[in-house]
Structures are given as C-alpha cells and as structure tokens.
C-alpha cells in the first residue's frame, strides 16, 4: 500500500471513494429508512413491545405486534425475571447475547442498571466458559473474523463491517484467553464482552465498537479435532508470517479508520503481546489491556490500600507468582509510581519487587536464559524453586498472583503471609474463577480474617468468625472503559504510561471511607459510570498536558465533558 495509491484513508475520505482510481474497487454503500419487519429485526432500533401506537402506525408495524405497549422499565423487569430463572450461568450468557442481537438498547439498559449481577455473566467468569463452548453455542456471528484466508485483503474485510464511525477496536488472536489458554477463533467472546463493557461502563456508543478476532490457527488439539470448532483447522502460524499478517491488519485499521481509532490488544500470548505493543505504540493509538490495563487497576488498589495500611507504596515488598504480561506489567507500573513518589531511579525501585515464574524465583543467576521482559526483575539472591520458599525468603507484604494457574496460593503460602504481616495484601488475579490462585474464603480463613483480598474474577462476600468480609475485584474492567473514553474524547493519538498512572490515581481516589471500612480497596461497580467519567477526565487532562490531544480547544470541565458524551440506552422516539 504505497502512499500514492489513491486510497487515501484519514478523516475526510475515509473509504477512499473520492480518491480511488478506476482500477481500485470501492464499496457501493447505500442508506435507507427501515420500517416493518426490517425495523424490528434491526437490534439497534428494535424496541419490541415498546413501540408506541404512533410509531407502529408510521413505520408499518401495526399488526406485526400484539396490541399491548410496554415501557422499557417493564421490559427490563421482565427480562431480569426471566434471566433469574436460569440457574446455569451459560444459559444466562446465551439469553443475554440473544437480547443484544435482538434489542441492543434494552440489553445495555439491563447491563447498566444491574451491573453487579450481570458482569459475571457477560464477562469473567462465564465468558470464559462461553469461549470454550463457542462453537456449540454459536447462533449468529458477532464481531469481525479475519483469518489467514484473508491475507492480502484485510482492508476489504474491514469494509464489510456495516458501521462506519468506529472509535474502539478490541482485537485478540485467541492464543491466551484469560487463564484458559489457546482457544483459537473461539476467543471472539472476549472482544465482544470487553466492548459491551466499553458501552455499559464507559459510555462508548455500541456502533463505534468493533470486536475483532484474528485467526492464525490454533494449537489446541481438542479444538482442532472438534466437529463444531468455528476457526481454521490448522496449527498456529508464527514468526515472520504472523508478523506480516498483523502488520497488514494494523496498516489496514489505520487506513480505514484514521489515526484516532483506539486498538486494544487483548489476550495475546506473552511473546506476541510485548512485541505488538512495542512495535505499534509509536505509530498507532494502542494499548494492551493485559499488560497495561491490569497494571493500572492493581496500582489503583495499592494506592488505595495505603490508607488502610498506613504505609506508602515504597514501604512494601512485592512478590508475584507469574512473570508474564500481567505480572511484569504491574511490576513495571509499581516501580514507575514509586520512582515518581520518591525520586529514586527505576532500577532502584525495582529492587523491592520480586517475581516467581514456573522455574522459581527470578534471580541474577538465571538472567541469561530469561525472556527479555523478565530480565529487569532478576535480582541478586540464591535460587529458590518453589513459591512457598520464595515467600519465606523474601517476606513480601503484598502477594500477587498472575500466573493463570489456579490453587497455587496454598494454605501454607497464605499462612506464611499471615505470620509476618499484620494485614497481608493478597491479590489472586488469574481468571476465570477456576484459575484464581485462591478463593476469597481461603484468603480470609487462612489469615484468620486479617487479609486484604481482591481477585480478578468476582467472589461473594465471606462470613468468618461472625464477621462479613467483602472481597474486591481487581479487574482491568475498572480501567479500560474510562481510559478509552478519556482517549477518545480528547482525540488522543498515542497512549503513554503517564495516562495509566492518571487512571490509577483517579480510580484510587474514588474509594470511600465507607468502602475502606468494609475492607475494600476498590469502589463498588454500582457507581462505575461515574467512576469511568472521572477516570476519563483524568486521562483526558493528562493527554492534553502531554500535547497528545487533537480535540482542541481543551474543554474546561473534563468530567462534565466525559459525562456528556456517554451513551444512554434509553429508547429514542422515532418520527
């Protein structure tokens, strides 16, 4: 794609229709007014029984609906009632996806008004199971599939997507879906789920969201042999071939949607995640949710926890189990924050942060054989093979699990944390629930109610010794919707670490005394839209300060600005 090819991209002539030469193909777009069945079958406009008489009359719907007219509130109560009849989480997931396909505004109204109840259905943990069984439960496609078969024509595939003004893309290649491993093309559930949170939690218009799954094959033998698998039945393409394919994708995205479309990399395997982020962060508006979003949410929890513990960040010693995207991403952001707070160099602040991977504590003697993203964490220490040994040797005040392997914070490990900490901070971040390093109940019981605990997937409150404990959910969904909104409303063209720090600060500052009193280091999700607006404002302010904002002049009140651009799922009236 040479710059003088005539397919211009950019803002004015996004689809190259004006500048295309005669031998270049353009798409014959048309627009028309929907009515009758067509209107009812369009999830963006369908209101079901809520169409008024006037609308039924004007849009040729009379007779196609029974006479009753219901309000959106009544519809909401009805669907919630029906959902609650399902006891199997996957059935709730399927019912919600059907609703999204049938009546988008009702779907988002439900999600916004019942966020604490429905988050575990459209998101972790249920979305994990949905991805594992995606082939069997597949009814109608969601999102855009770009497989190796489309090599050389990715731009054309992007043009097949019906919506034009895309602002956020969440893309995965399915190689590391949550802590469940390689689910290939069936990873699509993740971008779809993440983007429904962009809308429900961050207020981005649904039509501006584009979920994409890149299918370069899968190494999951079970899926390769499965009758209902939806992806390419071949092993993963890697190396040069993979890099070229992803490069074509990244170029096509910029060409089709311009400079300001946000691309969120999600659930790529370590090797590709770090590479893609460093390769494209200087030319595209990109961030990696698993490296940077998770880092920002954990840092927020740690900043908030200072109030409960009466300690500053630099007083802590951190130990991670898991040295992949999440582990090293969090570690880097903590080191950066401490460096900003204390004026010490990053090299120095890294010294109190230790990581354990599958081979044991990361120490200097292992440096030669370590992948590059682990090397900064190889400190001087004798080798230690097991987590328990590392805990006893390092005596961390904060223990963070990011390995994607469940049940690894054993009774011995958690009890050890409780022997040298009055209030051990324990974060079991791996998703979904089956991969959590320990449960909330285990954390509270094994520390005799002294732990401050948060997890990536939700746990119910726990009763221990007559007292109720409320576990927090340290999940990147606190961050990415607000971060995305802040980037979009300011017209950001690049993501910088300072914006992640701004997001962490904004989130931490919204934990109230009442939350702290319950042992929480995160605010409840019930207020998430307000929280997202504050995060967006804080990220937006940093974007302007760094000179990376293109929506000028800078609005005075960024919180107001954020709130005013948030999507509302309330039905619109049709003329």
Ligand X SMILES: O=C([O-])CC(=O)C(=O)O
Please state the φ and ψ torsions of residue 372, each to the nearest 5 degrees: -60, -35
Within a 10 A sphere around the Cβ of 32, how many other Cβ atoms?
A: 6
- Which of 215, 248, 267, 437 binds ligand X (CB under 6 A)? It is 267
Q: Residue 132 interacts with ligand X (CB under 6 A)?
A: no
Whole-number Å distance between alpha carbons of 406 and 437: 5
Whole-number Å distance between alpha carbons of 7 and 227: 41
| Residue 154 vs 209, nearer CB to ligand X | 209
Residue 437 contact partner, candidates ligand X, Mg ion, none, CB within 5 to 8 A by sort of partner: none
Residue 439 contact partner, candidates ligand X, Mg ion, none, CB within 5 to 8 A by sort of partner: none
CB within 8 A of 192, min separation 6: which ones? Answer: 142, 143, 211
**CA nearest neighbour of 213 among 132, 124, 146:** 146
Nearest approach, Cβ of residue 201 and Mg ion (Å): 15
266 annotated ligand-binding residue = yes
Which of the 8 DSSP states describes residue 549?
B
Contact in structure between 148 and 237 (CB atoms under 8 Å): yes
13 annotated ligand-binding residue = no
Residue 150 contact partner, candidates ligand X, Mg ion, none, CB within 5 to 8 A by sort of partner: none
Nearest approach, Cβ of residue 178 and ligand X (Å): 4
- Which of 46, 75, 100, 124 binds ligand X (CB under 6 A)? It is 124
- Which of 182, 290, 325, 357 binds Mg ion (CB under 5 A)? It is 290
Residue 172 contact partner, candidates ligand X, Mg ion, none, CB within 5 to 8 A by sort of partner: none
Angstrom distances, CA of residue 285 to CA of 162, 250, 393: 22, 11, 42
Nearest approach, Cβ of residue 104 and Mg ion (Å): 24
Residue positions annotated with a catalytic role:
123, 194
Whole-number Å distance between alpha carbons of 381 and 365: 8
DSSP per-residue string spanning 357-381: ETTEE-BGGGGGGS-TTTGGG-BS-
Whole-number Å distance between alpha carbons of 491 and 540: 9
Residue 475 contact partner, candidates ligand X, Mg ion, none, CB within 5 to 8 A by sort of partner: ligand X
**CA nearest neighbour of 323 among 268, 285, 277, 378:** 378
Whole-number Å distance between alpha carbons of 559 and 104: 26
575 annotated ligand-binding residue = no
431 annotated ligand-binding residue = yes
| Residue 137 vs 295, nearer CB to ligand X | 295
**CA nearest neighbour of 390 among 360, 412, 367:** 360
- Residue 314 DSSP SS3: helix
Angstrom distances, CA of residue 124 to CA of 243, 278, 503: 29, 27, 22
| Residue 408 vs 476, nearer CB to Mg ion | 476
- Which of 322, 456, 472, 482 binds ligand X (CB under 6 A)? It is 456
Window 405-444: contact mask with ligand X (x via CB under 6 A): --------------------------x-------------
Query: What letters, b where the CB count within 10 A reaches 16 and e where it falls short, cover 532-560?
Result: bbbbbbbbbbbbbeeebbebeeebeebbe
Angstrom distances, CA of residue 225 to CA of 138, 228, 234, 441: 17, 9, 10, 38
| Residue 110 vs 178, nearer CB to ligand X | 178
Q: Quote the crossing angle between the two packed helices 294-309 and 325-342, to the nearest 10°.
A: 50
- Which of 103, 167, 270, 475 binds ligand X (CB under 6 A)? It is 475
Q: Residue 289 interacts with ligand X (CB under 6 A)?
A: yes
Which helix (H) or strand (E) segment is 215 a member of? strand 209-215
| Residue 39 vs 115, nearer CB to ligand X | 115
* Total chain residues near ligand X (CB under 6 A): 9
Residue 124 contact partner, candidates ligand X, Mg ion, none, CB within 5 to 8 A by sort of partner: ligand X
Residue 129 contact partner, candidates Mg ion, ligand X, none, CB within 5 to 8 A by sort of partner: none
| Residue 8 vs 211, nearer CB to ligand X | 211
Q: Residue 178 interacts with ligand X (CB under 6 A)?
A: yes
18 annotated ligand-binding residue = no
| Residue 355 vs 537, nearer CB to ligand X | 355
Nearest approach, Cβ of residue 12 and ligand X (Å): 36
Nearest approach, Cβ of residue 267 and Mg ion (Å): 4
Q: Residue 357 interacts with ligand X (CB under 6 A)?
A: no
Q: Which residue, chain included where needed, has tokens 């028309």? A: 32
Window 245-284: contact mask with Mg ion (x via CB under 5 A): ----------------------x-----------------
Nearest approach, Cβ of residue 34 and ligand X (Å): 35
| Residue 215 vs 290, nearer CB to Mg ion | 290
For ligand X, the binding residues (CB under 6 A) are 124, 178, 267, 289-290, 431, 456, 475-476
Binding residues for (S)-malate: 176, 431, 475
For Mg ion, the binding residues (CB under 5 A) are 267, 290
């Amino acid at each position: 794609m040479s710059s003088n090819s005539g397919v211009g991209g950019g803002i004015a002539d996004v689809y190259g229709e004006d500048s295309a030469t005669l031998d270049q193909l353009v798409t014959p777009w048309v627009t028309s007014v929907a009515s009758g069945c067509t209107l009812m079958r369009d999830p963006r406009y369908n209101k079901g029984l809520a169409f008024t008489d006037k609308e039924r009359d004007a849009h040729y719907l009379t007779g196609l609906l029974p006479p009753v007219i219901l309000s959106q509130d009544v519809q909401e109560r009805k669907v919630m009632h029906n959902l609650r009849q399902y006891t199997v989480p996957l059935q709730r997931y399927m019912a919600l996806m059907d609703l999204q396909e049938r009546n988008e505004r009702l779907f988002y109204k439900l999600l916004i008004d019942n966020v604490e109840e429905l988050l575990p259905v459209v998101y972790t943990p249920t979305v994990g199971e949905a991805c594992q069984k995606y082939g069997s439960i597949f009814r109608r496609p969601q999102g855009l599939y770009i497989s190796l078969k489309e090599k050389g024509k990715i731009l054309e595939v992007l043009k097949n997507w019906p919506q034009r003004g895309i602002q956020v893309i969440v893309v995965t290649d399915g190689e590391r879906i949550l802590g469940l491993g390689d689910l290939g093309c069936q990873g699509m559930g993740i971008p779809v789920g993440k983007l429904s949170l962009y809308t429900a939690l961050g207020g981005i218009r649904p039509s501006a969201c584009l979920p994409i799954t890149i299918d370069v094959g899968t190494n999951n033998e079970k899926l390769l042999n499965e009758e209902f698998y939806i992806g390419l039945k071949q092993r993963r393409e890697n190396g040069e071939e993979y890099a070229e394919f992803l490069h074509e994708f990244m170029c096509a995205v910029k060409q089709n949607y311009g400079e300001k479309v946000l691309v969120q990399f999600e659930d790529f395997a370590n090797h590709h995640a770090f590479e893609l982020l460093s390769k494209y962060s200087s030319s595209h508006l990109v961030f990696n949710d698993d490296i940077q979003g998770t880092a920002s949410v954990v840092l927020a929890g740690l900043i908030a926890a200072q109030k409960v513990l009466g300690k500053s960040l630099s007083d802590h010693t951190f130990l991670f189990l898991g040295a992949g995207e999440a582990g090293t991403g969090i570690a880097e952001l903590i080191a950066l924050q401490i460096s900003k707070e204390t004026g010490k160099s990053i090299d120095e602040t890294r010294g109190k942060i230790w990581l354990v991977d599958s081979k044991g504590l990361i120490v200097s003697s292992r440096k030669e054989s370590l992948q590059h993203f682990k090397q900064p964490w190889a400190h001087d220490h004798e080798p230690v093979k097991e987590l328990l040994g590392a805990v006893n040797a390092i005596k961390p005040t904060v223990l963070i699990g990011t390995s994607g392997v469940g049940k690894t914070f054993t009774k011995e490990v958690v009890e050890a944390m409780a022997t040298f900490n009055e209030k051990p901070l324990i974060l079991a971040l791996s998703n979904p629930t089956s991969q959590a390093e320990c449960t909330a109940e285990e954390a509270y019981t094994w520390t005799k109610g002294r732990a401050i605990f948060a997890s990536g997937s939700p746990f119910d409150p726990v009763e221990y010794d007559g007292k109720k404990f409320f576990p927090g959910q340290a999940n990147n969904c606190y961050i990415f919707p607000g971060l995305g909104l802040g980037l979009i409303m300011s017209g950001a063209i690049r993501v910088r670490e300072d914006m992640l720090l701004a997001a962490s600060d904004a989130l931490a500052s919204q934990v109230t005394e009442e939350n702290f009193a319950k042992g929480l280091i995160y605010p409840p999700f019930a207020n998430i839209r307000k929280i997202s607006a504050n995060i967006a404002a804080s990220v937006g302010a940093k974007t302007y300060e760094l000179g990376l904002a293109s929506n000028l002049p800078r609005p005075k009140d960024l919180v107001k600005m954020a709130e005013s651009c948030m999507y509302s799922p309330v039905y619109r009236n049709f003329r």
